[in-house]
Structure 1
Amino acid sequence: MAKAYWINTYVAVHDEEKLAAYVALAGPAMRAAGGTFLARGNPAHAFESGTTERTTLIEFESVEAAVAAYNSSDYRAARAALGDGAEREIRIIEALD
């Protein structure tokens, strides 16, 4: 089974306090679900239509594990804390063999 990568890109941040509450809950939720943070922060460079907003890259053992992390009760609580505090794009992609 191939590993998977969760790519979370912020399109816009509307409320820094809600974002901080989300981050405090989301990190532990991802680690509890088997996720390993590989990168996070603002891009060093963005090309073409690339966004300069915060991006997070998390590795999971499989696509199924990443999807389970998204649907976990701990991550649901993090999403609830974020609410309308940010707009994001989340993608889960399978690693190459």
Structure 2
Amino acid sequence: MTVYWVNTFTAVHDEERMRRYAALAGPAMLAGGGRFLARGNPVDVLEGSALRTTVIAFPDAAAARAAYESAAYQEALRVLGDSATREIRVLAAVEE
């Protein structure tokens, strides 16, 4: 079952470390079988704050978790450190 990894940054404290994180995290997600559907700052905000968000499709929840736990993504997280605050959710796709 396809799942969607939704990563929302609620605060960024260090833009340079954020850029370094993104340079490592993107390839780690692709290597883990992810496919980017959307990423970046919102084009419009209807409610809430303007936050950076990433949406990545994975074939299943196990693949999303494996990508998160991979050595490559853990290195990206080490670079990010405490330079940002964020939330990550993995959601099941709607079956039609």
Alignment TM class, shorter chain as reference:
over 0.9
Between the aligned partners of 1:80 and 1:12, the Cα distance in structure 2 is 17
SS in 2 for 1:51: coil
Q: TM-score, normalised by structure 1?
A: 0.93
| Alignment of structure 1 residues 70-85 onto 2, 5 Å | 70-85=68-83
Task: Give 1:58's aligned residue.
Answer: 56
Q: CA deviation at 1:47?
A: 2.8
Q: CA deviation at 1:42?
A: 1.1
Q: CA deviation at 1:43?
A: 1.2
CA root-mean-square deviation: 0.9
Gaps of 5+ in 1: none
Q: CA deviation at 1:46?
A: 2.2
Task: Give 1:87's aligned residue.
Answer: 85
Gaps of 5+ in 2: none
| Alignment of structure 1 residues 1-97 onto 2, 5 Å | 2-48=1-47, 50-97=48-95
Aligned length: 95
| Percent of paired sites with the same residue | 55
Matched to 1:11, the amino acid is T
Matched to 1:47, the amino acid is L
